[in-house]
Amino acid sequence: MKKKLLKNTEWTVLIVSLLLLTIGLIALFSSTQSTEYGEFKKQIQWFLVSIPFLVLAYCIDYNIIVRFSTVIYIVMIGLLIGVLFTEPINGATSWYNFGDAVSIQPSELAKIVVILFVSFIINKLQIRGRKEINKIWKLMIALFFMAIPIGLIIIQPDYGTAMAYVTAMLFILFVAGIDKKYIITACIIVAILVPVVYKNLPAHALERIEVFLNPESDPRGKGYNIIQSKLAIGAGQLLGMGLLQGNQTQLGFLHPKTTDFIFSVIGEELGFIATAAILVLYVVLITKIIYIAKTAKDNVGSYIAVGIGGIFFFHMIENIGMTIGLLPITGVPLPFVSYGGSSLITNFICIGLLLNISSRRQKSYL
């Protein structure tokens, strides 16, 4: 039985994630030399912490994990409520701080919990068939349980992470067989609401959008980071300026260079070839995730896998898009590459679940 599980396991997703982590560690090593490699060392520690979570997520049958998702979901909602009463960091109440050394972001950890629980709920709602999700009251139930964490994250405020949840939900509903009429209706509603929401956005959100549209309007203020990011990536050209040699990176013009703009560090010091390799790795990862979803032994496995794929897809598009000026800056990390303990643990739990789902397919598809 164990041999069958190992044979079925889609090890490519683990290999790709480790390659991305390696690239991220190289960039962190370079970008943290002025601070005695503090975040580089911490990222290695967070990776070591992630390993047992990865192993557990792989070894315990995902259907057993899903059975406890209701309890974990309730606990996580409590954490998302509690974090609203913490001290703001950079204008957002998104972190639990345990001294100077450790900070936990519950919205990151909640991603996988919400995906597990919503997948469980949708599967229960479809007990009489896949078309059951198109009954309006059942669809509203699924949307309600997703809306609670999204609403709490928006209040923090953290619009980038909230959009990651929305993307995961859209991916899950699409695979669950949602009717086209709901997709068309949703598109019409979004088209109507966009100008209304835009006019009522808080000042800092409006500033980010305006800077995105015209960063040169405030080159020393709100537009500074995106201008420096594009300068860094452009300066890298084909092969980069060399590790530890990037001007924007090493002279402190690029900020925050270990999280939001780690892709810019890679572009400047390692060049177009390295950034293109990152894109290829993400394409391979997401393609394999879709394959795992298609070949899962049950609907719950498919929903979990595609929800995880939605999270990774959004983070990749948003982070890379904002560093090259194609999307607004939202503070969304690049999976496995950006510095961040909560993000790294969550990402490797996701990888563990993907390995779990692929290993329990009815036969080997490798």
The whole model's pTM is what? Answer: 0.91
Angle between helices 136-155 and 159-176 (to 10 degrees): 160
Helices (H), the chain: 2-8, 12-31, 38-59, 62-67, 69-82, 106-125, 136-155, 159-176, 180-199, 203-213, 224-236, 247-250, 262-295, 299-323, 341-359
Residue with tokens 């009463």: 85
Task: Reply yes or no on whether the pLDDT at 161 is more than 70.
Answer: yes
Give DSSP secondary structure letters for 185-253. HHHHHHHHHHHHHHHTS-HHHHHHHHHHH-GGGSTTTTTHHHHHHHHHHHHHTTT-S-TT--HHHHTT-
Least confident of 132-146, 274-288, 310-324: 132-146
Residue 345 is predicted with a pLDDT of 94
Task: Reply yes or no on whether the pLDDT at 318 is more than 90.
Answer: yes
Task: Reply yes or no on whether the pLDDT at 276 is more than 80.
Answer: yes
- Phi/psi of residue 97, nearest 5 degrees: -100, 130
Average pLDDT score over residue span 119-125: 93
- Phi/psi of residue 36, nearest 5 degrees: 60, 35
Task: Reply yes or no on whether the pLDDT at 111 is more than 80.
Answer: yes
Give the Cα separation of 125 and 281 in Å (integer). Answer: 35
Q: What is the pLDDT of residues 31-76, one digit of tens each?
A: 988 788 888 999 999 999 999 999 999 999 999 999 999 999 999 9
- Could you give the percent of the chain with pLDDT greater than 90? 55
Residue with tokens 């090493």: 250
Residue 364 is predicted with a pLDDT of 40
Give the Cα separation of 313 and 286 in Å (integer). Answer: 7
| DSSP code of residue 60 | S
Residue 267 is predicted with a pLDDT of 94
Longest dimension (CA), the chain: 63
Domain ranges of the chain: 2-359
Which residue did the predictor score with more confidence, 79 or 6?
A: 79
Give DSSP secondary structure letters for 157-191. T-HHHHHHHHHHHHHHHHHHT--HHHHHHHHHHHH
Specify whether the CB–CB gap between 251 and 235 falls below 8 A: no
Task: Reply yes or no on whether the pLDDT at 98 is more than 90.
Answer: no
Task: Reply yes or no on whether the pLDDT at 365 is more than 80.
Answer: no
Average pLDDT score over residue span 262-283: 95
Task: Reply yes or no on whether the pLDDT at 242 is more than 80.
Answer: yes
Give the Cα separation of 317 and 264 in Å (integer). Answer: 14
Burial of 282 (0-12, 13-18, 19+ CB in 10 A): buried
User: Is residue 362 very low, low, confident or very high in pLDDT (cuts 50, 70, 90)?
Assistant: low
Residue 165 is predicted with a pLDDT of 93
